[in-house]
Structure 1
Amino acid sequence: MKFAVSIFVPESFNQSATVFYRPLDSPLSNLNLQPFFIHETFQFSYLKFLWTDYFIRLTVSCNMSVMDEYNNQASESFWEIGKYNRSVKRIENGSKLCDSLRQLIETRSDIEKSYAKQLSQWSRKWNDFLEKGPEYGTTQTAWRSVLTEADKLCELHTEVAERLMTQVYLQVKQWNKDNYHRTMMNFRECKDKEDNFRRAQKPWMKRYNKLMVAKKEYHSACKQERSTANQENNAKGDPSVPVDQVKKLGEKLTKCKGEVEASRDKYKAALHDLNSYNPKYIEEMTFVFNECQEMERRRLTFFKQMLFEIHQCLDLSQNQRFAEIYRQFYQEINCGDCEKDLRWWSNIYGAGMSMNWPEFVEYSPELHNITKTKKPTFGSNEGITITGIKHNRESYAANSDHPPAGSNYQNAETADNHNPDSIYSSSTYVAPPPYSSITAPTTTTTTTTTTTDIKDADGRNPFGDPDSDDWLDDTTLVDDNRPGVPVRALYDYSATAPDELTFKAGEMFTKLSDPDELGWCKGRKDGRVGLYPATYVEPL
């Protein structure tokens, strides 16, 4: 019998839809029923049949979302045909989980390495700040304790990253290789278990299929018997139906009843055969399933062990070095003494400093210092060379547009200020980089190739001050770690003495003192303290 289908759809898909099956040969075949096609993602979770004279009413509960595949399979019994595939799939998933665990460990190791690297970079940055910054004393030491903690913690996290890869990652990789043997299509373990399940289920499956055939035949016979009985009853109640036709329907009904009895016996026999085989089927399937369980037990036990290994690698609270880091960290901060820092600052830069108070100084001649190269005995036949002459600053300024500190013209007093032990074999005037010309002083120097120091008979310099020899030996420039003022170089300058600074235009460094009477300043550049001409820089 053929049916026409119509569905009355509600406004909301979460409500119920009504489906009508109508026989095509019914008196209502001329009704105009609009067809409707149910989307394949709808899931029919509730079915209800209501019989009427011409319609079979099917009530369907519609749901727009599709249930998860695992939830669908959960309602299917392991004992059904082919449902052992979930146990086989679990074996394959075990190998995939090993790969996932290795990926987890490797990613965490990379995070630990990245964290250690960032700690190291952070520590170097702030160490440079403390080296060049204004912080001082025990407070600076406390600052450094933070960076020391970072350096030591960097070492610990680097070790954590290495241990994760060497102690855990490699174990998981080797265990996966030993327990799961990949073939061209799948794992050998999966194929073995699937074959065992199939062999155990095959006899039962044959009996089950035989039962389903018998069941179908029985239900078909019952349906035919019922249909024939209805036809006979309708024919008996209709006077227009011939008696011969009613008789034939009666014979047909008798035959159908015989087929029903035969198919029922066959159906019951097939069911009895299946039920009698069930114990053996259960035993064989359980045996193979227990093998799968044992394999999964080994995997779960191994994973638990590896997770404990990961815990041991990551748990720094149990590391004695970790506890020592923060114990030392606390002690170094606690050693900070603000009063000690204040006293130090007062003595170095404040009211506790000593002072050379001004005193009366007698006038001395303009030409009084002569630089020497060595100390020969007085009366030697060797020649004498004057390597520098001190000129009056006012006289020099009158003949020059630029201060003497901005030039490379060497004189005796300049040499005394920088490096008294320096020897200038030639004293030549060279214009500074920012200027194209300069007016030479009125008194020029003589350049010779022979340089000789002379002394009188008692070893003293007859042309210098009595104390000049001792003063010339003091060339040390001390860095007192004062903050200073940042300046920028306007021009290039190359040092002509060991105690001078060399810099390029645009470079920045720190000014530590104001210009002296000769126009030279004390500064710090790249951790080195030296002198430079004041007119070559500008403050920032």
Structure 2
Amino acid sequence: MCQYFLSSNYLLPPEVFNRTQDFERERLVYFKDLFSNLHKALDVTQRTDFKAIYSDLEQSIAHCNIEVDLAWWSTHHGVDMPAVLPEFEEYSPELTTISNKKRSQLSETNTGVTLTGITPVISSPAQISPDKHSEPYVKKSTNGPQATLPTPFDDFSPTSDSKSFEQTAEPPRSALPVAPPTAAEVPTADELSDADYYASATYDDGRPGVPVRALYDYTSQEDDELTFVAGDIFEKLEDADDQGWCKGRKDGRAGLYPANYAGPI
């Protein structure tokens, strides 16, 4: 008579149960070997190369010198570091700040009258030599002394109402001093900023220019300026003024652009 076993509320024959036991044995052996190999891989203390690494680390920590480290830090980043004195840099016009272009057309008007000409001062009356082609318009008298031409330095009497033709001869204009213009005659920067300045900046006489290449992007801020991007090629018509602006031509239009925004090709 066959013997049966009660397992999970089912009656199993012995050979079926033994097969399940064999399968479970193989599974347990597999996991045991797997975890054993994992333990050997994680146990770094058993490897000679890892032992050398930890030994070197321990020696490095032991050889740390605190005083030497503090002295090095004070020398390079503390109170013992050498003094760094400022150095003079050579002035470069290309690094100057771009200022208002309108100042270059006329100097400041609030400083007084602008000097437009200098006339040398004559300390003594000039001797006028007659020219063979033009005789002085003076009547000659044979009965008395000849009258001399007046100069700007002669004193005229305000009481004399009428003078002879010899005394009222007008001296040459070149000998008269030139009076400087008054403040009302000097144009202001606002008067040049509209039509005159715009016309001079955008006027194109058709002459060929020097090819230049844009180094940076620039967008015009006013109507008389050029717009370009880095790499564009256009022509330079005039060199930079005292404010750092050049006159150029791009796409058939003349205008101004910053001098350090373009370079020669």
Q: Normalising by structure 1, what TM-score?
A: 0.16
Which one has the bigger helix percentage? 1
